[in-house]
């Protein structure tokens, strides 16, 4: 089953169950400064999970574009990626555990035709914050899941949320699919990698407060999630997401440009494909960022520069990331028309960042080689030099160091970075003072007002 078909079947199914279909919210959150990106389908729905009335009713479903940055350094293996699409259905105080589980089971077994023999589930084991989830376990047994296929796990595995530091959260029940080539074992072993998580039903009963307490919500909610990329790979019998139609067209372009085979360069090509797709969606978002050294712009810069670095490592001399961006826009423009509208903006920003980085990349790599020739540790000062003079994000220096078998004094780098920020601030203050020494009273007032406004905007 192709990804587009999966998404359509999902939305059609939940529409038939009385859910209103809502569009994807922006990738960059509009009213939540606690996170840089929308990390899950529930993220833009938090107001309705805590009691606000949704204009389309108390049952909705969507395909939400998401970004998770905690695993950037892990991208390159067969399971991690940054940008992804999440299928989700929600109940705002309507149905709860039993109904949610029944619908999940029906979609998996009747719509996707997954055999019962290949399914297993987990439930929350309970702790001082919430009791053991026997309700979910009982429902799974009623639907035909054997006791041996139900595992109870703690908060680390079977609790979801909040999306930021506070907010709605609760125990969850996760569904797993057997991807092994042989017959599934009778008993579910959660440590066996051949059992792959396919779906997660979260039962949002609590609100986590600033003090870290879990307070019962006034309404019980359901929040579910299936990652499109992972489920597509599972349904197609693929061992990795990069072998599906969501990544293969990009991989083929990388092979053509580098004249190298994916099988021999999997890590580099996966990184390029993932990071270029993420970059296009950040630039093409409703609230799109541009490359910079802060917030979403810094993540975007890391993606683009890491992709460029790996293209260079594969022997590409004339970097042109627009080739990949064009392909990605064409792949998604029907579902996300804004990508087509912002095509020129996306390509222009990628070109600018390419020019900025390719000018210093080769010199920076030579400098890095010089540093590692005389020491097996990159000092804080040297790491900061690579950052300031050659545009190497600290994460790139760390990755280069790992490949070379040397270490980076990252805490010392942080000290150098702080010093730089302080010097910049003091320098700006001196400039401000000196620049106004002969100015009129009105100019001084206006200049001060400008600084106050800029500071307020930064804070907000």
Query: What letter would DSSP give residue 23?
Result: P
Work out how many domains the chain is built from and give that number: 3
- Sites in the chain below the pLDDT cut of 50: 434-438
Query: What letter would DSSP give residue 176?
Result: E
Judgement on whether residues 271 and 200 belong to the same structural domain of the protein: no
Domain finish residue from 236, 270, 298 = 236
Residue 384 in domain = no
In this prediction, residue 435 carries a pLDDT of 44
Residue 386 in domain = no
Q: What does the alpha-carbon distance between residue 142 and residue 97 come to, in Å, rounded to a whole number?
A: 13
Residue 19 in domain = yes
Judgement on whether residues 199 and 63 belong to the same structural domain of the protein: yes
Judgement on whether residues 302 and 323 belong to the same structural domain of the protein: yes
**Could you tell me the two tokens for 23?**
């569009």
Q: What does the alpha-carbon distance between residue 205 and residue 189 come to, in Å, rounded to a whole number?
A: 28
Domain finish residue from 197, 216, 236 = 236
Judgement on whether residues 221 and 263 belong to the same structural domain of the protein: no
Q: Write out the DSSP string of 425-450.
A: HHHHHHHHHHHTTT--HHHHHHHHHH
Q: What does the alpha-carbon distance between residue 332 and residue 90 come to, in Å, rounded to a whole number?
A: 25
Residue 298 in domain = yes
The residue whose two tokens read 């599934």 is: 184
Write the Ramachandran bin of 270: left for phi over 0, alpha for psi from -120 to 50, otherwise beta.
alpha
Judgement on whether residues 215 and 321 belong to the same structural domain of the protein: no
Domain finish residue from 327, 362, 397 = 362
Question: Where do the DSSP E strands lie in 258-417?
Answer: 377-378, 407-408
Judgement on whether residues 443 and 357 belong to the same structural domain of the protein: no
Residue 433 in domain = yes
Judgement on whether residues 24 and 141 belong to the same structural domain of the protein: yes
Residue 445 in domain = yes
In this prediction, residue 69 carries a pLDDT of 83
pTM: 0.83
Q: What does the alpha-carbon distance between residue 326 and residue 451 come to, in Å, rounded to a whole number?
A: 40
Judgement on whether residues 335 and 455 belong to the same structural domain of the protein: no
Judgement on whether residues 171 and 263 belong to the same structural domain of the protein: no
**Could you tell me the two tokens for 117?**
């023999």
- Please give the residue range of the domain that contains residue 195: 3-236
Judgement on whether residues 23 and 169 belong to the same structural domain of the protein: yes
Judgement on whether residues 168 and 273 belong to the same structural domain of the protein: no
Query: What letter would DSSP give residue 288?
Result: -
Please report, rounded to a whole number, the percentage of residues in the chain having pLDDT higher than 90.
Answer: 68
């Amino acid at each position: 089953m192709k990804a587009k078909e999966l998404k359509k079947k999902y939305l059609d199914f939940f529409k038939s169950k009385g859910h209103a279909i809502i569009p994807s919210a922006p990738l960059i959150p509009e009213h939540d400064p606690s996170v840089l990106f929308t990390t899950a389908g529930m993220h833009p729905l938090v107001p309705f999970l805590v009691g606000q009335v949704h204009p389309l009713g108390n049952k909705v479903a969507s395909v939400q574009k998401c970004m998770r940055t905690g695993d950037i350094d892990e991208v390159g293996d067969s399971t991690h990626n940054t940008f992804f699409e999440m299928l989700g259905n929600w109940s705002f105080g309507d149905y709860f555990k039993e109904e949610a589980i029944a619908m999940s089971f029906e979609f998996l077994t009747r719509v996707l035709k997954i055999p019962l023999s290949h399914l297993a589930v987990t439930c929350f084991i309970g702790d001082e914050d919430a009791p053991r989830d026997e309700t979910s376990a009982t429902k799974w047994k009623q639907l035909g899941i054997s006791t041996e296929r139900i595992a109870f796990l703690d908060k680390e595995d079977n609790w979801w949320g909040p999306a930021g530091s506070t907010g709605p959260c609760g125990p969850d029940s996760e569904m797993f699919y057997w991807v092994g080539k042989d017959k599934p074992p009778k008993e579910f072993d959660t440590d066996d990698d051949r059992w792959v998580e396919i779906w997660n039903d979260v039962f949002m009963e609590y609100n986590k407060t600033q003090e870290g307490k879990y307070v019962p919500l006034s309404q019980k909610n359901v929040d579910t999630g299936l990652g499109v990329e992972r489920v597509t790979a599972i349904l197609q019998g693929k061992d990795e997401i990069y072998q599906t139609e969501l990544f293969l067209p990009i991989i083929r372009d990388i092979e053509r440009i580098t004249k190298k085979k994916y099988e021999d360069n999997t890590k580099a090509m996966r990184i390029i494909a993932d990071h270029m797709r993420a970059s296009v969606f950040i630039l093409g978002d409703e609230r799109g960022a541009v490359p910079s050294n802060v917030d979403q712009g810094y993540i975007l810069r890391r993606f683009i520069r890491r992709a460029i670095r790996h293209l260079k490592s594969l022997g590409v001399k004339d970097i042109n990331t627009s080739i990949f961006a064009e392909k990605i826009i064409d792949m998604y423009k029907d579902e996300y028309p804004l990508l087509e509208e912002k095509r020129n903006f996306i390509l222009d920003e990628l070109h600018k960042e390419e020019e900025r980085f390719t000018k210093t990349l080769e010199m920076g790599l030579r400098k890095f080689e010089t540093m590692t020739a005389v020491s097996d540790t990159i000092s804080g000062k040297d790491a900061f030099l690579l950052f300031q003079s050659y545009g190497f994000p600290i994460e790139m220096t760390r990755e280069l160091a790992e490949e070379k078998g040397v270490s980076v004094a990252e805490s010392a780098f942080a000290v150098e970075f702080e010093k730089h920020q302080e010097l910049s601030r003091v320098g700006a203050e001196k400039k401000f003072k000196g620049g106004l020494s002969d100015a009129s009273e009105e100019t001084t007032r206006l200049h001060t007002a400008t600084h106050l406004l800029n500071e307020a905007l930064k804070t907000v």
